[in-house]
Amino acid sequence: MSLFFALSMAGQSLLTHKRAMDNVNKNMSNMYSEGYARRVNHLSDMPASSVELKKIERVFDQSLFNRYILANNQKTGYEGYQDILQQIEALYNDIMGSGLASELNDFFNSFNDVAVNPDDLAARNSVISKATALVGRIRNDYETLEDIKEKTSLSVKDNIQHLNNLTKQLAYVNKNIKFFSYDEVRLNEFLDERDRLIKEISSLIDTKIRINEDNTVDVFTSKGFSLVLYDQVSNITFDTDSDGNPVVRVSGNDVTDILGNGKIGGYIKGIKKVNEAINQLNDFTTTLALIVNKQHRQGYDLNGNTDIDFFGIDPSSSLTNINATNIVVNITDPKQIAAASDPTYTNSDNTNIKKIINLKESINGVLTAAEETDLFADNTITIGGITYILNDTNNYNLIKEKSFHEFYSSHMVAPVSSELSKIKTLAQDSAFLAENIDQKIKEMSSVNIDEELINLTKLQRAYEASAKIINVTDELLQTVLSLVK
């Protein structure tokens, strides 16, 4: 072996181990960097020559990564949905005084004093006061539900804007992954960024990924609509329909109803639950107004007047039907409360007021069979100039079979609490699964400082040996050259 060949081999070895040490130092300096995947040096002998750094491999398990994406989809979807359910449950929290039960009880109970003494104006004023409190609670609940819906829709809009930014970044990263395919240092940096972006995208929307042979990635929704194809990005848009519900489109295709996971999907499911709560509140209010008004119209007030509606429509409302948005107490004068069934004894007869009190337990017989048939025909009935529209006549039937309190408890409060309990469990399970998978990924790809120090020591010794060979070879060359002189 010539001295020049030995010098060449040592120089090659020196450069190889220098690059390998740089990689180890990079690992150590990024030990606490979130999303950094450890790089492993692969050294190999060159035939009849030196040593080369064949590859700097980034530690990555595609199977684990795919499992994490799915678990993250579910986790964020459940968490978003849970957040909305908790807000609805807080609205109907009777223990904390934010529900309807107390005001509903007070309203019906307030008629008892009028039944005892029909001409007691103080008792009649109490009825108006309690009715006003009930109406105020109903309208406040409606406004709160609408506020939850509006804020959640804005959150969907903000997350879609963020999602569009992420997909554009991913398309840019895809181009750089391909461009730097022969520069392992830059390539691995872009692969880290690729995985970070995919994780963030998966937290927002149902996601499926396809990692190509060149390490670029294509991203789709769970139902197959493409979000990113290499450097091509699908535009995701947000709009609202006539009822203020969010409409999400991917390249013009409406995907709103097929989004179930990710933060956006969870929020959309939550908005659907808010709509259910609004419809039930409206039907509860409409039925309450319809039944109380119908019974009240059959009685006589202290002035001998009849056909008086207890509840009315707020004059500022643009609607012609009564519901939770516009219900008001129609009576301002306590003498207008129709307690009597006999116009001759308006100051002592309590027959009609007793019938109103009985509505607390049962509404059977208030509407005639013909009126119920009219209501069920098109969910609408008009009595005394006021129109009553139900979203679902089954809600009227449920109140008729049970009571206002039973309907409120079992069909407005209980389902939300039950759903929330189930979703909490699912959210905890999915969070536990996602954290476990993420922990496995980190255990596999994170930097172990002890291991890196050992690797660094080995490489330093090899580097020093190569440097020693160069020094010795240089001395030999100097000696040979001096002999020639």
pLDDT digits 0-9 by tens, 288-317: 999 999 999 999 999 999 999 999 999 999
How many CB atoms lie under 10 A from the CB of residue 255? 21
Say if residue 29's pLDDT is above 90.
no
327 found inside a domain: yes
133 found inside a domain: yes
444 found inside a domain: no
How many CB atoms lie under 10 A from the CB of residue 233? 21
**CA-to-CA distance for 242 and 245, rounded, in angstroms?**
7
Buried b (16+ CB within 10 A) or exposed e, 158-167: ebbeebbebb
Same domain, 79 and 56: no
pLDDT of 141 reads: 94
What pLDDT band is residue 4 in, cutting at 50, 70 and 90?
low
Query: For residue 196, what are its two tokens?
Result: 């970070």
**CA-to-CA distance for 265 and 81, rounded, in angstroms?**
8
Same domain, 145 and 181: yes
pLDDT of 451 reads: 84
432 found inside a domain: no
Same domain, 30 and 45: yes
pLDDT of 469 reads: 75
Mode of pairing for the β-strands spanning 51-58 and 208-211: unpaired
Same domain, 139 and 111: yes
Provide the number of structural domains found in the chain: 2
C-alpha 124 chain-centroid distance: 47
Same domain, 322 and 407: yes
Query: For residue 28, what are its two tokens?
Result: 């150590």
Segment 130-148 mean pLDDT: 95
3-class SS at 455?
Answer: helix
168 found inside a domain: yes
Strand order in the sheet with 246-250: 236-240, 246-250, 253-254
pLDDT of 468 reads: 81
Same domain, 312 and 297: yes
211 found inside a domain: yes
Say if residue 466's pLDDT is above 80.
no
Say if residue 47's pLDDT is above 70.
no
Percent of the residues in the chain that have a pLDDT greater than 90, as a whole number: 69
Read off the amino acid at residue 470: I
Same domain, 39 and 71: no
Of residues 233 and 8, the one with the higher pLDDT is: 233
Least reliable range by pLDDT among 32-46, 343-357, 459-473: 459-473
Segment 7-28 mean pLDDT: 78
Same domain, 464 and 410: no
Same domain, 215 and 239: yes
What pLDDT band is residue 444 in, cutting at 50, 70 and 90?
confident
What pLDDT band is residue 1 in, cutting at 50, 70 and 90?
low
What pLDDT band is residue 485 in, cutting at 50, 70 and 90?
low
405 found inside a domain: yes
Residue 288 backbone class (left: φ over 0; alpha: ψ -120 to 50; beta: rest) = alpha
Same domain, 107 and 47: no
Of the candidates 167, 166, 215, the one whose C-alpha atom is nearest the C-alpha of residue 187 is 215
Segment 309-338 mean pLDDT: 95
Say if residue 52's pLDDT is above 80.
no
The range of the structural domain enclosing residue 103 comes to: 67-427
441 found inside a domain: no
The pLDDT tens digits of the residues spanning 168-202 come to: 999 999 999 999 988 888 999 999 999 999 999 99
* 143 in Cβ contact with 135 (< 8 Å): no
Same domain, 472 and 383: no
Q: Would the pTM of this model clear 0.75, i.e. be above it?
A: yes
Task: Tell me which of 396, 427, 458 is where a domain ends.
Answer: 427
Same domain, 167 and 282: yes
Segment 81-104 mean pLDDT: 87
